Amino acid sequence: MDLNQIVSSLRSSGAVGQLADSNGLSHDEAHGAVLGLLEHLSGGAAPESAAESVAAREGISPDKVQALLPQVLSLLQGHAASGAAPEGLGGLLGQLGGPGGLGGLFGR
């Protein structure tokens, strides 16, 4: 699974730009945050620690990164459903919905 390819696909679809605009981030900040969150979460990091690490790396407020977490899962699900998603996105979604992933943010 190539996380860069997944995030690039989201960016080219305009989804990362919309995420940036709705959260007061530049498009580059949103791209970096989404990629960082996916890297940390797919590696098994807890959402809170992933948000803190990404915020420090990207120079973004931890609160803003924390607010992105549920939005990132929604973006990925929508992109997967559109049929435009690169290979590996389904596996990533399953991984993120498991223990330690984004599933806990939705009461799973």
Chain centroid to CA 76: how far? 7
Chain centroid to CA 96: how far? 10
C-alpha angle 52/56/62, rounded to 5°? 45
Residue 107: per-residue pLDDT: 40
Residue range 55-94, pLDDT digits in tens: 999 999 999 999 998 888 787 777 666 665 555 555 555 5
Residue 1: per-residue pLDDT: 52
Residue 14: per-residue pLDDT: 84
Q: Maximum Cα–Cα distance for the chain, whole Å?
A: 33
Query: Among 44, 60, 62, which Cα is nearest to 104's?
Result: 44
